[in-house]
Amino acid sequence: MKLRTFLTATAAASALLTLGLPAAHAQAPAGYKSEYRMSLVLGTAFPWGKGGEIWASKVREKTSGRINIKLYPGVSLIQGDQTREFSALRQGVIDMAIGSTINWSPQVKALNLFSLPFLFPDYAAVDAVTQGEVGKSIFQTLEKAGVVPLAWGENGYREISNSKHPIKSPADLKGLKIRVVGSPLFLDTFTALGANPTQMSWADAQPAMASGAVDGQENPVSVYTAAKLHTVAQKYVTMWGYINDPLVFVVNKEVWNSWTPADREAVRQAAIEAGKEEIAIARKGMVEPGKPLLKDLAANGVQVTELSAAERDAFAKATRPVFDKWKGQIGANLVDAAEKAIAARKQ
């Protein structure tokens, strides 16, 4: 009888395997969700969304399928309102996210560091800050704010485009309606430059450009290219590199605590690896000799303006009062530490 019982059990197990039932799900500890929700502003056509896809894939592989992630681009879990993403993440509406330091800066003041105009002269400066002690300090601040930060990614340097004329000096911005994200620092910066900053979500921005409701926008060239902004009258692009927009890979604290220590480490390592790959994708075409992405723009009939050091400095001087005003709100010590790290960077 014992042998027969054993054979029956074995046959049943074989049948389950034959049916293709996922063994990994059976191994998932109690308290794990069948699927975790990852919020993203942009989809997989953009480096940002691609980073989410890579992270999800690596997590699934490293946890043997115990943690499965579904991507929700267009911040669709919160009806497209990217400024609500951080709050929704803390509340558990979102399980994990790759978020923009800009979008989260209203809730976490320290993140405004990356939106200080003309602080980061090059990619080496960005890396010196995010990958050094300042980056660690910001992660500690995020942890205190109620989320678990794991790795840095990057949306990129935000360049300005418009439908009217080339922008080479602050005077060229006078009166232009420029779409900006919901950040008071952005409103201050563009007001100081004489523009008319208009706050709206990315979902609303493209129709607004197509209709002429706004004249221009500022975003990384990779976003401009993927979104085909030359088709919505954005014929003039100026490479002014006024701010860089790092991304942060994070997990909701309760979700994080529900995982085993081994799976937490797997998710962390997956985020670090995905972050490095995502940054490389975001910079592709801009770090190689000749900046191939700019040639792609020109091929679409876009007039690309590259500023001289003196021309860029004129924009920096015009926005210096904004820099000084916000330095105190962000934390003078943090800004000073970032400036020291930038000054000491290896190029």
Predicted confidence pLDDT, tens digits, the chain (347 residues): 443 443 344 344 433 333 333 444 447 888 899 999 999 999 999 999 999 999 999 999 999 999 999 999 999 999 888 889 999 999 999 999 999 999 999 999 999 999 999 999 999 999 999 999 999 999 999 999 999 999 999 999 999 999 999 999 999 999 999 999 888 999 999 999 999 999 998 889 999 999 999 999 999 999 999 999 999 999 999 999 999 999 999 999 999 999 999 999 999 999 999 999 999 999 999 999 999 999 999 999 999 999 999 999 999 999 999 999 999 999 999 999 999 999 999 87
Handedness of CA 266, 272, 275, 279 (dihedral sign): negative
**Predicted local confidence at residue 18, as pLDDT:** 36
**Predicted local confidence at residue 155, as pLDDT:** 96
Q: How far apart are CA 60 and CA 197, in angstroms?
A: 42
Joined tokens for residue 93: 């509406």
Nearest to 275 by CA among 38, 125, 98, 145: 98
pTM of the model: 0.89
Q: What class has domain 32-343?
A: alpha beta
Q: How far apart are CA 97 and CA 89, in angstroms?
A: 8
How many helices (H) does the chain have, and how many strands (E)? 16, 11
- Give alpha helix (H) positions in the chain: 2-18, 23-27, 47-62, 85-91, 101-104, 123-130, 133-144, 184-192, 202-211, 221-226, 253-258, 261-283, 292-299, 309-318, 320-330, 332-343
**Predicted local confidence at residue 117, as pLDDT:** 98
Nearest to 66 by CA among 100, 34, 42, 89: 34
Nearest to 35 by CA among 262, 261, 255: 255
**Predicted local confidence at residue 127, as pLDDT:** 98
**Predicted local confidence at residue 203, as pLDDT:** 84
Joined tokens for residue 140: 């500690």
**Predicted local confidence at residue 11, as pLDDT:** 42
**Predicted local confidence at residue 108, as pLDDT:** 95
Output the CA–CA distances (angstroms, integers) from residue 189 to 116, 319, 321, in the order listed. Answer: 9, 6, 9
Burial class of residue 276, CB neighbours in 10 A (0-12, 13-18, 19+): middle
The 8-class DSSP code of residue 164 comes to: S
**Predicted local confidence at residue 79, as pLDDT:** 86
Q: Where are the domains of the chain?
A: 32-343
